[in-house]
Amino acid sequence: MIRPILKFGDTPLHEPAAEVGVLSDEIQKLIDDMIETMYAAPGIGLAAPQVGVPLRIFVVDLSFGRDAGGLKVFVNPVFLERDGVQLEEEGCLSVPGFNATVARPQRAVVKGRDRHGDECTVEGTDLLARAFQHEMDHLDGKLFLDRVRGIKRDLIVKKIRKLSRAGKW
């Protein structure tokens, strides 16, 4: 089932998510829904808080579903390593229509459980490292706009507030 994606300003996006305990049928359904929602958006990543569920789960697929091995599911992920810096423009399904340049690690190693409860460790570089950091930020109650400073951030927030007042956000 495709779930609605929360937008900047919705409270659950700005609060840290809780760890997942048992990988119940309900959690499996959530993961399925997150994958379907991510592909439908379309996006390359989605965190549970973005669909209103404050749990530490995210999904990433840089291939948009075209590569069967491209989908990565992380439950209770943590960073083992992060190094280097890349500066690239980035957007977010929860901040539709807006992009900004954000500093992210060039390389990131994430450890967590997969949807079956098995421990997994994945190293990502370039776009995958960026996606890992972006989704982990969601689990910590942050959006990419929280990493943008100065006039660029102010302009985006001002435009979002204007859209919100007009009922278009």
Q: With cut-offs at 50, 70 and 90, classify the pLDDT of residue 68.
A: confident
Are 33 and 48 a contacting pair, CB within 8 Å?
Answer: no
Q: What is the pLDDT of residue 42?
A: 96
Give the global pTM: 0.95
Active site residue 135: yes
List the CATH number of the domain containing 66.
Answer: 3.90.45.10
Cα–Cα distance for residue pair 34/152, rounded to 1 Å: 30
Confidence band of 81 (pLDDT split at 50, 70, 90) = very high
Residue with tokens 């999904």: 59
Tell me the average pLDDT of the chain: 97
Choice among 15, 26, 119, 135 that is catalytic: 135
Mean pLDDT for 21-49 is: 97
**Do 108 and 72 form a contact (C-beta atoms < 8 A)?**
no
Arithmetic mean of pLDDT, 139-168 = 96
Sign of CA pseudo-dihedral 10, 106, 124, 66: positive
Domain count along the chain? 1
Is 156 inside any structural domain? yes
Which domain covers residue 16, as residue numbers?
Answer: 11-165
Residue 2: inside a domain = no
The tens digit of pLDDT for each residue in 84-128 reads: 999 999 999 999 999 999 999 999 999 999 999 999 999 999 999
Is residue 63 domain-resident? yes
Tell me whether residue 4 is in a domain.
no
Asked if residue 3 belongs to a domain, the reply is no
Residue 71: inside a domain, yes or no?
Answer: yes
Q: Give the model's pLDDT for residue 61.
A: 98
What integer pLDDT is reported at residue 65 of this predicted model? Answer: 87
Average pLDDT over residues 45-70: 95
Residue 5 lies in a domain: no
Q: What is the pLDDT of residue 58?
A: 98
What integer pLDDT is reported at residue 9 of this predicted model?
93
d(CA 122, CA 95): 27
Residue 159, pLDDT above cutoff 90: yes
Distance CA 7, CA 1 (A): 19
**Residue 145 predicted with pLDDT over 90:** yes
CB atoms within 10 A of CB 114: 15
Question: Average pLDDT, stretch 4-21?
Answer: 96
DSSP one-letter code for 143: -
Look at residue 115 and tell me if it is in a domain: yes
